[in-house]
Amino acid sequence: MNASLLSTTRLSRSFGGLMALSELNLEVGRNSILGLIGPNGSGKTTFFNVVTGIYAATSGQVSFDGRDLTSQSPQTVYRAGISRTFQRSRLWLPLSIFDNIIMGDHKHLASGLLFNLFCRRRLKAQLKESLARARELVAIFDPDLADRLFEPVANLPMIARRRIEICRALISSPKLLLLDEPSAGMTREETFSLVDDILEIKQRVDDLTIIIIEHEMSVIERITDRCVVLNFGEKIREGTYQEVTADPQVQQAYLGVD
Protein backbone atom coordinates (compact mmCIF):
# COMPACT_ATOMS: atom_id res chain seq x y z
CA MET A 1 0.00 0.00 0.00
CA ASN A 2 1.10 3.60 -0.64
CA ALA A 3 1.86 5.81 2.33
CA SER A 4 -1.36 6.53 4.18
CA LEU A 5 -3.10 9.83 3.43
CA LEU A 6 -6.17 9.32 5.64
CA SER A 7 -6.40 7.08 8.66
CA THR A 8 -8.98 6.61 11.37
CA THR A 9 -8.40 4.96 14.73
CA ARG A 10 -11.36 3.49 16.61
CA LEU A 11 -13.56 6.17 15.08
CA SER A 12 -17.10 6.18 16.46
CA ARG A 13 -20.22 8.29 16.17
CA SER A 14 -23.42 7.69 18.11
CA PHE A 15 -26.82 9.35 17.93
CA GLY A 16 -28.40 8.82 21.31
CA GLY A 17 -28.47 5.07 21.79
CA LEU A 18 -27.72 4.34 18.13
CA MET A 19 -24.09 3.60 17.25
CA ALA A 20 -23.90 4.73 13.62
CA LEU A 21 -20.14 4.22 13.38
CA SER A 22 -18.32 1.86 15.73
CA GLU A 23 -14.56 1.91 16.36
CA LEU A 24 -13.63 2.08 12.68
CA ASN A 25 -9.95 1.56 11.89
CA LEU A 26 -9.16 2.54 8.33
CA GLU A 27 -6.10 3.34 6.22
CA VAL A 28 -6.38 5.02 2.82
CA GLY A 29 -3.25 5.03 0.69
CA ARG A 30 -2.21 8.05 -1.34
CA ASN A 31 -3.28 8.11 -4.99
CA SER A 32 -5.64 5.16 -4.48
CA ILE A 33 -9.37 4.69 -5.01
CA LEU A 34 -11.17 3.12 -2.07
CA GLY A 35 -14.70 1.79 -2.38
CA LEU A 36 -16.92 2.07 0.70
CA ILE A 37 -19.88 -0.30 0.45
CA GLY A 38 -22.59 -1.73 2.65
CA PRO A 39 -26.38 -1.80 3.03
CA ASN A 40 -28.42 1.32 3.66
CA GLY A 41 -27.86 2.61 7.17
CA SER A 42 -24.51 0.87 7.54
CA GLY A 43 -22.62 4.06 8.39
CA LYS A 44 -21.06 5.01 5.05
CA THR A 45 -22.36 8.58 4.79
CA THR A 46 -21.92 9.02 8.54
CA PHE A 47 -18.24 8.24 7.98
CA PHE A 48 -18.03 10.99 5.36
CA ASN A 49 -19.86 13.40 7.67
CA VAL A 50 -17.51 12.70 10.58
CA VAL A 51 -14.37 13.00 8.43
CA THR A 52 -15.55 16.31 6.95
CA GLY A 53 -16.59 17.80 10.29
CA ILE A 54 -20.34 17.88 9.72
CA TYR A 55 -20.65 15.55 12.72
CA ALA A 56 -18.17 15.52 15.57
CA ALA A 57 -16.69 12.15 16.42
CA THR A 58 -18.04 10.59 19.61
CA SER A 59 -14.63 8.98 20.10
CA GLY A 60 -11.57 7.98 18.12
CA GLN A 61 -9.30 9.91 15.80
CA VAL A 62 -9.11 11.14 12.21
CA SER A 63 -5.62 11.79 10.80
CA PHE A 64 -5.12 13.38 7.40
CA ASP A 65 -1.77 13.97 5.74
CA GLY A 66 -0.05 13.81 9.12
CA ARG A 67 -2.51 16.17 10.81
CA ASP A 68 -5.14 15.46 13.44
CA LEU A 69 -8.50 16.55 12.00
CA THR A 70 -10.71 14.91 14.62
CA SER A 71 -13.91 16.94 15.06
CA GLN A 72 -12.50 19.96 13.25
CA SER A 73 -14.92 22.31 11.50
CA PRO A 74 -15.93 21.66 7.88
CA GLN A 75 -14.04 24.82 6.90
CA THR A 76 -10.83 23.53 8.51
CA VAL A 77 -11.22 20.12 6.85
CA TYR A 78 -11.82 21.76 3.48
CA ARG A 79 -8.75 23.96 3.82
CA ALA A 80 -6.67 20.91 4.76
CA GLY A 81 -7.46 19.42 1.34
CA ILE A 82 -10.64 17.31 1.57
CA SER A 83 -13.60 17.95 -0.73
CA ARG A 84 -16.78 15.98 -1.23
CA THR A 85 -20.02 15.54 -3.10
CA PHE A 86 -23.36 14.61 -1.58
CA GLN A 87 -25.85 11.89 -2.44
CA ARG A 88 -28.58 14.48 -2.91
CA SER A 89 -27.72 17.29 -5.27
CA ARG A 90 -26.55 20.51 -3.64
CA LEU A 91 -26.47 22.59 -6.81
CA TRP A 92 -28.18 25.99 -6.99
CA LEU A 93 -30.28 25.38 -10.07
CA PRO A 94 -31.01 29.03 -11.07
CA LEU A 95 -27.29 29.87 -11.03
CA SER A 96 -24.89 29.22 -13.88
CA ILE A 97 -22.55 26.26 -14.22
CA PHE A 98 -19.61 28.53 -13.47
CA ASP A 99 -21.28 30.06 -10.40
CA ASN A 100 -21.92 26.60 -8.96
CA ILE A 101 -18.37 25.42 -9.60
CA ILE A 102 -16.64 28.51 -8.24
CA MET A 103 -18.46 28.11 -4.91
CA GLY A 104 -16.11 25.19 -4.28
CA ASP A 105 -13.01 27.37 -4.55
CA HIS A 106 -13.58 29.98 -1.87
CA LYS A 107 -10.27 29.16 -0.16
CA HIS A 108 -8.46 30.55 -3.21
CA LEU A 109 -10.75 33.54 -3.77
CA ALA A 110 -10.16 36.92 -2.14
CA SER A 111 -13.74 37.85 -1.31
CA GLY A 112 -13.23 40.69 1.14
CA LEU A 113 -15.11 43.92 0.55
CA LEU A 114 -12.01 46.12 0.36
CA PHE A 115 -10.35 43.79 -2.17
CA ASN A 116 -13.44 43.75 -4.36
CA LEU A 117 -13.81 47.54 -4.21
CA PHE A 118 -10.22 48.68 -4.63
CA CYS A 119 -8.36 45.83 -6.35
CA ARG A 120 -10.45 45.55 -9.46
CA ARG A 121 -7.63 44.49 -11.76
CA ARG A 122 -6.55 41.70 -9.44
CA LEU A 123 -10.18 40.64 -9.00
CA LYS A 124 -10.65 40.53 -12.77
CA ALA A 125 -7.46 38.47 -13.18
CA GLN A 126 -8.56 36.11 -10.42
CA LEU A 127 -11.94 35.54 -12.03
CA LYS A 128 -10.32 35.00 -15.41
CA GLU A 129 -8.04 32.36 -13.92
CA SER A 130 -10.95 30.68 -12.12
CA LEU A 131 -12.97 30.60 -15.33
CA ALA A 132 -10.10 28.92 -17.16
CA ARG A 133 -9.73 26.31 -14.42
CA ALA A 134 -13.47 25.62 -14.38
CA ARG A 135 -13.54 25.25 -18.17
CA GLU A 136 -10.58 22.86 -18.04
CA LEU A 137 -12.28 20.66 -15.46
CA VAL A 138 -15.63 20.58 -17.24
CA ALA A 139 -13.90 19.77 -20.53
CA ILE A 140 -12.59 16.53 -19.02
CA PHE A 141 -16.19 15.41 -18.68
CA ASP A 142 -17.79 17.09 -21.67
CA PRO A 143 -15.96 19.49 -24.05
CA ASP A 144 -19.25 20.87 -25.37
CA LEU A 145 -20.45 21.64 -21.84
CA ALA A 146 -17.23 23.59 -21.22
CA ASP A 147 -18.46 26.18 -23.72
CA ARG A 148 -21.75 26.66 -21.84
CA LEU A 149 -20.44 27.74 -18.43
CA PHE A 150 -22.86 30.64 -18.09
CA GLU A 151 -26.00 28.61 -18.70
CA PRO A 152 -28.22 27.81 -15.68
CA VAL A 153 -27.63 24.41 -14.13
CA ALA A 154 -31.41 23.88 -14.23
CA ASN A 155 -31.10 23.32 -18.00
CA LEU A 156 -28.82 20.29 -17.57
CA PRO A 157 -29.73 16.58 -17.42
CA MET A 158 -28.90 14.58 -14.30
CA ILE A 159 -25.56 13.22 -15.51
CA ALA A 160 -24.33 16.72 -16.37
CA ARG A 161 -25.39 17.98 -12.95
CA ARG A 162 -23.43 15.17 -11.29
CA ARG A 163 -20.41 16.13 -13.35
CA ILE A 164 -20.72 19.76 -12.26
CA GLU A 165 -20.88 18.68 -8.61
CA ILE A 166 -17.65 16.72 -9.04
CA CYS A 167 -16.04 19.71 -10.76
CA ARG A 168 -17.10 21.91 -7.84
CA ALA A 169 -15.39 19.49 -5.45
CA LEU A 170 -12.24 19.42 -7.62
CA ILE A 171 -11.85 23.15 -8.29
CA SER A 172 -10.04 23.69 -4.97
CA SER A 173 -7.40 21.08 -5.92
CA PRO A 174 -8.08 18.72 -3.01
CA LYS A 175 -5.80 15.87 -2.00
CA LEU A 176 -8.81 13.70 -1.08
CA LEU A 177 -12.11 13.56 -2.96
CA LEU A 178 -15.12 11.93 -1.29
CA LEU A 179 -17.86 10.83 -3.71
CA ASP A 180 -21.20 9.91 -2.14
CA GLU A 181 -23.16 7.75 -4.60
CA PRO A 182 -22.30 9.78 -7.71
CA SER A 183 -24.40 7.51 -9.96
CA ALA A 184 -27.63 7.96 -7.96
CA GLY A 185 -30.56 8.65 -10.27
CA MET A 186 -28.69 7.71 -13.45
CA THR A 187 -29.38 5.15 -16.11
CA ARG A 188 -26.96 2.26 -16.65
CA GLU A 189 -25.48 3.98 -19.71
CA GLU A 190 -25.01 7.24 -17.82
CA THR A 191 -23.37 5.38 -14.94
CA PHE A 192 -20.93 3.70 -17.31
CA SER A 193 -20.07 7.08 -18.82
CA LEU A 194 -19.54 8.64 -15.39
CA VAL A 195 -17.13 5.86 -14.43
CA ASP A 196 -15.09 6.70 -17.53
CA ASP A 197 -15.07 10.32 -16.34
CA ILE A 198 -13.85 9.43 -12.85
CA LEU A 199 -11.05 7.28 -14.25
CA GLU A 200 -10.06 10.11 -16.58
CA ILE A 201 -10.01 12.55 -13.68
CA LYS A 202 -7.83 10.20 -11.66
CA GLN A 203 -5.38 9.91 -14.55
CA ARG A 204 -5.17 13.64 -15.22
CA VAL A 205 -5.17 15.10 -11.70
CA ASP A 206 -1.89 14.57 -9.89
CA ASP A 207 -1.80 13.34 -6.29
CA LEU A 208 -5.55 12.70 -6.00
CA THR A 209 -7.00 10.08 -3.67
CA ILE A 210 -10.67 9.08 -3.94
CA ILE A 211 -13.11 7.36 -1.59
CA ILE A 212 -16.37 6.44 -3.27
CA ILE A 213 -19.64 5.28 -1.72
CA GLU A 214 -21.60 3.39 -4.32
CA HIS A 215 -24.40 0.81 -4.43
CA GLU A 216 -23.79 -0.03 -8.08
CA MET A 217 -21.32 -2.89 -7.79
CA SER A 218 -20.17 -2.62 -11.41
CA VAL A 219 -18.78 0.81 -10.53
CA ILE A 220 -16.94 -0.50 -7.48
CA GLU A 221 -15.54 -3.46 -9.39
CA ARG A 222 -14.24 -1.32 -12.22
CA ILE A 223 -12.57 1.60 -10.50
CA THR A 224 -11.49 0.68 -6.97
CA ASP A 225 -8.13 -0.58 -5.78
CA ARG A 226 -9.58 -1.76 -2.48
CA CYS A 227 -12.94 -2.00 -0.72
CA VAL A 228 -14.18 -1.65 2.83
CA VAL A 229 -17.55 -3.14 3.77
CA LEU A 230 -19.58 -1.66 6.62
CA ASN A 231 -22.59 -3.16 8.37
CA PHE A 232 -24.35 -1.63 11.39
CA GLY A 233 -21.49 0.86 11.65
CA GLU A 234 -18.76 -1.77 11.86
CA LYS A 235 -16.15 -2.84 9.32
CA ILE A 236 -16.86 -6.47 8.45
CA ARG A 237 -14.44 -6.98 5.56
CA GLU A 238 -11.62 -5.25 3.71
CA GLY A 239 -9.74 -6.20 0.55
CA THR A 240 -10.04 -6.19 -3.21
CA TYR A 241 -13.49 -6.26 -4.81
CA GLN A 242 -13.11 -9.96 -5.58
CA GLU A 243 -12.06 -10.75 -2.02
CA VAL A 244 -14.86 -8.88 -0.27
CA THR A 245 -17.65 -10.08 -2.59
CA ALA A 246 -16.53 -13.68 -2.11
CA ASP A 247 -16.89 -13.41 1.66
CA PRO A 248 -20.05 -15.21 2.91
CA GLN A 249 -20.57 -12.58 5.62
CA VAL A 250 -20.59 -9.81 3.01
CA GLN A 251 -22.90 -11.79 0.75
CA GLN A 252 -25.37 -12.25 3.57
CA ALA A 253 -25.20 -8.68 4.87
CA TYR A 254 -25.08 -6.81 1.62
CA LEU A 255 -25.52 -8.92 -1.46
CA GLY A 256 -28.63 -10.69 -0.22
CA VAL A 257 -27.27 -14.25 -0.31
CA ASP A 258 -28.53 -16.62 2.38
Looking at residue 166, what is its pLDDT? 95
Q: Give the mean model confidence (pLDDT) for residues 244-248.
A: 91
- CA torsion 232→235→239→243, rounded to 10°? -40
> Quick check: 255 pLDDT over 90?
no
1 pLDDT band, cuts 50/70/90, is: very low
Q: In whole numbers, what is the pLDDT of the chain averaged over residues?
A: 89
The residue extents of the domains of the chain are 1-81+174-258, 92-172
Res. 31 pLDDT band, cuts 50 70 90:
very high
Fold for the domain defined by 1-81+174-258: Rossmann fold (3.40.50)
Burial label for 234, CB within 10 Å (0-12, 13-18, 19+), is: middle
